[in-house]
């Protein structure tokens, strides 16, 4: 039951991130794009939390050769880099990757800390 709440949490924030990216591109607003990146990070943390409550460690699953899961995260990361470079500034995707790497380093050392 608890992992289903995490999946729903991740799904809602992922849909919000998609809509916010669309609106950011339509309005050419960097603030909306940064909000979309925040919702994308929330979506990814929801996936991690849902897998953790189900008894899986996301980071061992991603770094093993599980192609669909790894391609999901790599695809979103490449899209964020592309959109940041083309429409917004480079510091957006660099900050996005720094935040993701910080969350990964904290969560991989201590699964109960987040």
Domain boundaries, the chain: 2-109
Enter the pTM of the model.
0.80
Could you give the CA distance from residue 105 to residue 99 in angstroms, rounded to a whole number?
A: 10
Could you give the CA distance from residue 3 to residue 83 in angstroms, rounded to a whole number?
A: 31
By mean pLDDT, which of 6-15, 17-26, 61-70, 105-114 is the weakest?
105-114
Query: Could you read off the pLDDT of 41-94 as tens digits, one per residue?
Result: 888 888 888 888 887 777 777 677 777 777 888 888 888 889 888 888 888 889
């Amino acid at each position: 039951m608890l992992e289903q709440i995490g999946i729903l949490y991740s799904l809602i924030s992922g849909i919000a991130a998609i809509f916010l990216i669309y609106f950011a591109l339509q309005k050419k607003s960097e603030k909306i794009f940064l909000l979309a990146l925040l919702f994308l990070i929330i979506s990814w943390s929801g996936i991690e939390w849902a897998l953790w409550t189900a008894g899986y460690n996301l980071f061992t699953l991603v770094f093993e050769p599980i192609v669909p899961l790894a391609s999901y995260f790599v695809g979103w990361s490449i899209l964020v880099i592309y959109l940041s470079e083309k429409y917004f500034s480079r510091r957006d995707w660099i900050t996005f990757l720094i935040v993701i790497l910080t969350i990964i380093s904290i969560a991989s050392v201590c699964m109960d800390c987040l």
